Structure formats: structure tokens, C-alpha cells
Structure 1
Amino acid sequence: MDTENPLGQFLRARRALLRPEDLGIPAGTRRRVAGLRREEVAQLAGVSADYYVRLEQGRERNPSVQVVDALAEALKLEEDAVTHLHRLARPTPGRRRRPAQRERVSPNLLRMMAAWPDTPAVVLGRCLTVLAANPLGEALFDGHTYGGDLVRLVFLDPDARDFYPDWDRVAANTVAGLRAAAGADHDDPRLVEVVGELSIRSETFRRLWARHDIRQKTHETKRFRHPLVGELTLHYETLTVNSAPGQQLVVYQADPGSPSEEALSLLGSLTADAAPPRSRETTPQTPAHHRPPPHEPGA
């Protein structure tokens, strides 16, 4: 994964996604690039074309806050992407690569999750691996090759498209969430590992990663087709774990009185004797997953 010029990569990717006609720019008949031309972005942002070219090529690495805001407006970025662009344009000085450490979940958080027998809950690491889950959270993702790794589950598990009825939307959101979780730390060994593997094994992942979409995992309604209890429509909320930066607590709920609540209750009864939640320690050398299948699901 090329990390030499992340700002330029982001600008090129987002420029390619915009359609000139949506911005009132005549598309013309001799357009050789997808999306906007460099000079068109420069004009919309109120900077010179030469300056914008230097930004994309990595020859200019210190744009002002005002220029970054103007570029964000020109590229029609959403809030999470604007924040990401500012991080890329003005990285924290003197940041040193820390040795890779195990991701551990606080015992207090594990006890809290154990006190929710009717509510699926999982703790995710920086690359969306499942670091811990209560019994119902474990049961929700059980039965898959990659039940402990949500990115690989989506793109490599042979049952993924059946498990997620809205697979296309889930896939796009998963990649955008992975970028958000990684932030500007592009050379994180865990991120390099997962992006490298998925880029080789999944054409869909490779295409979505190249878009540079970025979206925090916050709240959403998601459909599952569980092998034991059938269709589930669950709402989830994602909470950051302040005591462990990079970790996210994801809690799922069904609408009261709905068929999904009944199915979730049935799933809970089937896992009533499951072990209490425990932390799954992961490192770049010992990722929490099995050996991958030969290609992405449905390919």
C-alpha cells in the first residue's frame, strides 16, 4: 500500500468521483479523465492550477486551513471526509511509529457487556476485528469462516452475501468505516496487512478502497439472514472506548415487539449457556482469523 503521498491520493480519488454536469460544468466531448480535471478543481477552490497540481503530486505538503476548507467544498466532501482531509494536509508533527501492541479489552467493559444477556454487543479493534463479544454478540456472527473479523467476513467469507441481504451497501460502508477507523495512520502494520490481502483477493474491495470514501461507524439499521433464526433487522449504535483509543463498542437492538426481537430472543435462548465475554488479543503477526478461502464471495 503506497503511503508516500496520501494527500495526493485522496484528492485524485475524490476528484475522479465528481461528475462535471453535477457542478454546472459542461462535460464536453474530449474529456479524457473520469470526474473533474485538475484545473476545474483548482478553479472551484479558488487556487491556481499549478498550486493544485503540486498538491496532488506531493510537491506541496503544507496547504493552509483555508485552502483545505476550499478544497473540501470544491470536492463536495461530507463531514468525516473533511476531517480526514485536514488530518492528511496537516499531520501531527514528529509522530513516531510505535511498536505494534496487542489490543486488549478492559475487564470492566467485559463485565458490562456480560450484564446485557438480551443485547448483542461486540468490541471492535482499529481494523474492525472483533476483540470481544458477549454471548449474544458472539452468536450473531457465529457459523462463519471469519466471524471474528468483520472486514474479511464481508469480502472473503463464502456465506457473506447470504448473511448480509444488503451486501453491496454493507461492503461500501465497511470499507469507509475501515478508513475512518485507521485515520491518518496509513502505515499501521494491521492496516497494511488487511488492505494488502483484501486488495489481492477481492476485486470489489480493491475498487471500493480506491474511492477513498470515509465514514465513521456510528448508527445504522442492518439486515442479517442468520443460519439459526432467519431474518433479523437490527439497529446498532457505535460508541468509542475512551480508555482504549481505536476501540469501538457496537450494540445491536431490535424494535420492541417485532419479529426480529422474537428471533433475537430465540437466539439468546440457544446461547444461554455460552461462556462470558473474553478479550481476543490480536497482533499483526497473529491476526484473529482463519485461513482465507480462495476468492471473494460470489466472484
Structure 2
Amino acid sequence: MGTPLGDFLRARRDSTQPEALGLPNRGRRRSPGLRRGDLAARADISVEYLARIEQGRDRNPSPGVVRALADALDLDPSERTHLRYLAKITGGECSVHIPPVPPSRHVRPSVLGTLQLLEPGIAIVTNRLGDILAHTGGFAAITSGTGLLDTASPSLTRYLFTDPRARTFFADWDAVADEQAFDLWLAPSLENLEWLTAELTPLAGPDFTRRLNRHVVPHRGVHRLHHPTGPELRLVRETLELPPDAQQLVVYLPADTETATAVTRLHHQAHGRLRSIS
């Protein structure tokens, strides 16, 4: 049985061409990318030990080995952070299975008060699984008619992967889907993630599972949204962590004057109000 750490190492090895690391191309091979022997040599570990890590038979490599693997794969800072995180949660997996449970949807009153101060701006509170727990009227305005907030417990993750309207609303759907799937690894616990994937995988299919298991660190650019009434909205995001609650406050800002004008018009049309979703 594999582990998050092993899956990431295999995915990065398969996507790394030898020439990118200054290694000779030894011709055709059964699988793409870097050979296990080449990676092991660069990290100064045995091929057998690397195989055990990749296959999940060794779940506790030392910090030195993790750093050596990061160096050997020439990972950038974001990828190194993700590798260290996966090493931590892989080593912390327990042998006793804990039934998966959904995370709390409670939002502290002080956080709701902060959202109120942001009106009529565009902001949401989410948890690590993509559940939208609270939002401003500005967010309701820019998502009106898209279906995102139509359910009693809206979820950006479920909407992205199960609602066909999402592929029209998000102009760069593939990039947003990659980002959302990657962020699920930052869930408060593997139990939370298991709960979500058990529910979502049968509905979302390979579009979801393939992205979840790739561990590709996304490039977070401007959000481009196609509102049903016509305007394209270009938004930049600022994310504030709420560590005590394993939640995030995400604020969306217009990236240009055209978007600012469109957002103002949509807000006047919608007259949305802040509401907490619990």
C-alpha cells in the first residue's frame, strides 16, 4: 500500500527528465522520467531504500534523507514544503484505523464580525476541504446564477468536480481544479481527507483522483470568472490563515478597473447579505 510521501516521490521522478538534472538520456525505458537508480545515486541512498519509501514499506525516512531527496529532484521552495509535509503526515499515520469524520463547520463570531467589516467586498471563510462556511454579500453577488451557493452546505471542491456549470464559471477550470485538489492535502487530518474522498470519488471520477494523486504544486495566478450575465471577472486573492480553527479567510480583489466596475454592478443587482452556513 502506498503513502502520500511515496506517491509524491514517484510522481516527481516520473515527471523529471534526466536532461533537466544534467544526466545522460539512456534511451527508451518502460516508464517516463528519471530512473530510480539515478535518483537514489543523486540522493546518496540505496535503490532498495528508495523503493521501500516509494512503495510505502518505509514510512519514517530521516529529515536528512528527505532533504537529500529534495535536493536530488531539484525541488523549488513550494515543492520542498509539500515534501516535508507529506513526510510528516506519512510518518504520523497510525496503525489503528480512525473512522473518517467531517470537520466542524462552526465559524467563530469574531471571524463573522471580520467578514461584516469587509462588506461590500468579496470574501469567504473556508475549511481545508473547500467547504464554504461563511461569505459576504459581495461573494454572493459574483457567484449569483452559477449554482455554487445553491446547496445548504456549499463546497467549492464538490462544485468544481461535480457541477458542469463550474467548467464555464471558472475560465481556467483545469488550473483551479489542480489547485483545489492539491490544497486538500493540507486538511486538518488524513481522516478528514479520507472522509471527503470517500464521498467525492464515486461522483467526481478520474478528474478528481488523478489530480489528488499527482501532488503537483500549483501556480496561483489571477482568478478568471465568467459570470452568467456576461462580464469576465479577474480577481486576485489574499488568504489569511485561522490556525485555531483550521480555516481560512480568503479575500478577492479586482485585478483591473473593468472588473471593479462589473463587481459594483453585480453587487447592486444582487443586494446580497452576509450569512453563515453551518
TM-score higher than 0.5: yes
User: Partner amino acid for 1:226?
Assistant: H
Partner of 1:224: 225
How far the C-alpha of 1:6 sits from its partner, in A, is: 2.6
Q: CA deviation at 1:25?
A: 2.4
**Counterpart among 58, 63, 66 of residue 64 in structure 2:** 66
- What do residues 214-246 of structure 1 show as CA deviations (whole Å, max 9, x unaligned)? 45x9x64211111135211111111101331x2
2:176 and 2:195 mapped to 1: Cα distance? 21
Match of 1:144, as an amino acid?
A: T
Deviation at 1:172, TM superposition (A): 1.7
Q: Which residue of 1 aligns with 2:249?
A: 249
**C-alpha separation in 2, matches of 1:93 and 1:204:** 28
Does residue 77 of structure 2 align to residue 79 of structure 1?
A: yes
Structure 2 CA distance for aligned equivalents of residues 156 and 129 of structure 1: 14
Q: What SS is found at the alignment partner of 2:239?
A: strand
Out of 175, 181, 191, the residue aligned to residue 187 of structure 1 is 191
**Which sections of structure 2, spanning at least 5 residues, go unmatched?**
none
**What is the letter of the counterpart of residue 237 of structure 1?**
E
Name the residue aligned to 2:179. Answer: 173
Provide the C-alpha distance between the structure 1 equivalents of 2:88 and 2:206, rounded to a whole number of angstroms.
32
TM-score (norm 1): 0.80
Match of 1:270 in 2: 269
Question: Residues 227 and 93 of structure 1: is their aligned pair in 2 closer, same or farther, counting only changes over 3 Å?
Answer: closer
> 2:159 pairs with 153, 173, 192, which one?
153
Give TM-score, length-normalised by structure 2. 0.85
2:9 paired with 1:16: no
The alignment yields a C-alpha RMSD, in angstroms, of 2.6
Report how many aligned residue pairs link the two structures.
Answer: 269
State the partner residue of 2:205: 202
**TM-superposed deviation, 1:275:** 3.4
CA 1:155/1:22 → structure 2, altered by over 3 Å: closer, same or farther? Answer: same
Paired residues of 1:223 and 1:232 also in contact (CA < 8 A): yes
Q: Structure 1 or 2: larger helix share? A: 2
Q: What's the CA shift for 1:120?
A: 0.5
Q: In terms of mean alpha carbon deviation, does 119-128 or 22-31 score higher? A: 22-31
Q: Which amino acid aligns with 1:33?
A: S
Q: Quick one: structure 1 residues 276 and 130, their matched pair in 2 at CA, closer, same or farther if it must change by over 3 Å?
A: same
CA contact (8 A) 1:10 1:212 kept: yes
1:135-155 alpha-carbon deviations (Å, 9 max, x no partner) = 111222232344321122222
Partner letter of residue 236 of structure 1? R
Cα distance in structure 2, aligned partners of 1:6 and 1:255: 36
Percent of paired sites with the same residue: 36
Aligned equivalents of 1:63, 1:172: Cα separation in 2: 28
Is 1:135 equivalent to 2:134 in the alignment? no
Aligned partners of 1:9 and 1:56 also within 8 Å: yes
Structure 1 unaligned residues grouped into runs of 5+: 282-299
Residue type of the alignment partner of 1:270: Q
SS in 1 for 2:107: coil
Amino acid at match of 1:112: T
Shift in CA distance, 229/40, structure 1 to aligned 2, threshold 3 Å: same
Kept in 1, the 8 Å contact 2:135–2:275? The answer is yes
Q: Distance in 2 between matches of 1:168 and 1:88?
A: 23
Query: Which residue number in structure 2 is paired with residue 114 of structure 1?
Result: 116
